């Protein structure tokens, strides 16, 4: 029941000063498939918790020296994600409440029903796992909202490219689906596409919104946006791969792109995808100094530059996807 679905056996630390109880608890949990370690005092338990990984702490409440409640206090601060189950000798509701307030996730009254103990342990492990997963998901959602807000701020600098990031993201995902990109890579692509032009925050408005083609000097400044974007996003440790994708979203498969002149497969896959989506979007959008090229002409351009500017097979897949999605 407990371990079959997990690839890793859960480790439980049992703390009780009474040897007979301690041994009985260890035996019961061991039989249920847990890896169990035991400590006879709170101090000993803290020592073990400092040096080893445990998934759950099962502790007696009344012990000489560090009490179960004091141990709960310390451990919930040390390992906020670890469920703590407190064994209590009496049925005092106030004591039970106190242990929950100090960070315990559950409590059991003695004598412990050995048959129910594994169920209780498993319930606490599962509940905490779900909580942690939910928090992570929420964290990712908040991050995503922040990224979209940042992307909108960049788009807002230039009325002609308003909603550009959103459209590039949509087109990138169209291509991702066409090549059946894994969900993890698809997520990386989605984040990167939203933020691909974030470095334009550092490009002067006079260049960004110039109603005419750029001079060579101005274009050199504009070209800095991909490296700058990579640096900005790279500040967030968790977004290291996204930063990499952003840095390289103007590399060409023939090595004539920027900032590093990478070639072919050396360019991150998501960067190669974004380049195609970005270029197509730029061609079909109306800009300050020119009208849209039109969908058909833009597709012909992709075709013509596939194998030099664009990844050949990705460009083919994108053209195919556009053919079957005339609404995009």
Residue of this chain nearest to Fe ion (CB atom):
197
- Scanning 66-163, the segments in alpha helix (DSSP H) are 68-78, 93-101, 117-157
Conformation bin of residue 264: beta by default, left when phi > 0, alpha when psi is -120 to 50: left
> Considering beta carbons, is residue 155 or 197 the nearer one to Fe ion?
197
Site string for Fe ion, 179-198 (x = CB under 5 A): ------------------x-
Helices 183-195 and 240-247 meet at what angle, rounded to 10?
60
Q: Count CB-CB contacts under 10 A for residue 10.
A: 20
d(CA 10, CA 2): 9
Q: Which residues are registered as beta bridge partners of 39?
A: 15
> Considering beta carbons, is residue 102 or 200 the nearer one to Fe ion?
200
Q: What residues from 28 to 67 belong to the interface with Fe ion (CB under 5 A)?
A: none
Closest approach, Cβ 328 to Fe ion, in A, equals 20
Closest approach, Cβ 249 to Fe ion, in A, equals 6
CA end-to-end distance (rounded Å), the chain:
49
> Considering beta carbons, is residue 79 or 166 the nearer one to Fe ion?
166
> Considering beta carbons, is residue 16 or 281 the nearer one to Fe ion?
281
> Considering beta carbons, is residue 158 or 197 the nearer one to Fe ion?
197
φ/ψ of 107, rounded to 5, equals -145, 155
Q: What residues from 196 to 235 belong to the interface with Fe ion (CB under 5 A)?
A: 197
Closest approach, Cβ 255 to Fe ion, in A, equals 18
Q: Which position has the token pair 């100094």? A: 289
Closest approach, Cβ 199 to Fe ion, in A, equals 8
Closest approach, Cβ 201 to Fe ion, in A, equals 12
> Considering beta carbons, is residue 121 or 193 the nearer one to Fe ion?
193
> Considering beta carbons, is residue 117 or 208 the nearer one to Fe ion?
208
Closest approach, Cβ 240 to Fe ion, in A, equals 19
> Considering beta carbons, is residue 59 or 161 the nearer one to Fe ion?
161
> Considering beta carbons, is residue 65 or 202 the nearer one to Fe ion?
202
DSSP string, 190-225: HHHHHHTTGGGGGS-HHHHT-SSPPPHHHHHHHHTH
Total residues contacting Fe ion by CB under 5 A comes to 1
φ/ψ of 203, rounded to 5, equals -95, 130
Closest approach, Cβ 163 to Fe ion, in A, equals 15
Q: Which residues are registered as beta bridge partners of 257?
A: none
Reference 288, options 161, 155, 153, 163; nearest CA is 161
Closest approach, Cβ 214 to Fe ion, in A, equals 13
Dihedral angle sign, alpha carbons of residues 187, 189, 190, 195: positive
Q: Which residues are registered as beta bridge partners of 88?
A: 109
Closest approach, Cβ 226 to Fe ion, in A, equals 6
Cis (ω within 30 of 0) for the bond into 259? yes
Dihedral angle sign, alpha carbons of residues 252, 254, 255, 256: negative
What is the binding site for Fe ion (CB under 5 A)?
197
């Amino acid at each position: 029941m407990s371990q079959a679905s997990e690839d890793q056996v859960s480790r439980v630390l049992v703390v009780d000063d009474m040897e007979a109880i301690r041994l009985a608890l260890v035996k019961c949990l061991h039989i249920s498939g847990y890896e169990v370690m035991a400590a006879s005092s709170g101090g000993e338990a803290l020592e073990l918790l400092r040096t080893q990984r445990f998934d759950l702490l099962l502790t007696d409440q009344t012990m000489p020296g560090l009490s179960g409640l004091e141990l709960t206090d310390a451990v919930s601060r040390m390992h906020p994600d670890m469920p703590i189950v407190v064994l209590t000798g009496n049925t005092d509701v106030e004591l039970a409440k106190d242990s929950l307030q100090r960070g315990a996730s559950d409590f059991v009254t003695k004598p412990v029903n050995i048959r129910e103990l594994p169920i209780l342990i498993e319930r606490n492990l599962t509940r905490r796992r779900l909580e942690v997963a939910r928090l992570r998901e929420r964290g990712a959602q908040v991050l995503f909202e922040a990224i979209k807000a940042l992307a909108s701020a960049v788009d807002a600098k230039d009325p002609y490219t308003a909603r550009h990031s959103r459209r590039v993201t949509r087109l990138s995902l169209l291509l991702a689906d066409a090549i059946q990109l894994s969900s993890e890579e698809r997520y990386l692509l989605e984040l990167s596409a939203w933020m691909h032009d974030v470095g334009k925050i550092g490009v002067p408005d006079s260049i960004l919104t110039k109603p005419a083609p750029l001079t060579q000097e101005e274009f050199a400044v504009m070209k800095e946006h991909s490296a700058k974007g990579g640096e900005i996003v790279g500040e967030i440790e968790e977004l290291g791969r996204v930063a990499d994708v952003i840095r390289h979203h103007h590399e060409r498969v023939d090595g004539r792109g920027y900032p590093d002149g990478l070639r072919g497969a050396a360019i991150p896959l998501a960067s190669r995808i974004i380049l195609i989506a970005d270029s197509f979007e730029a061609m079909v959008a109306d800009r300050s100094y020119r009208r849209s090229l039109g969908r058909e002409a833009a597709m012909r351009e992709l075709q013509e530059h596939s194998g030099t500017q664009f990844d050949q097979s990705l460009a083919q897949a994108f053209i195919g996807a556009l053919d079957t999605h005339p609404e995009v």
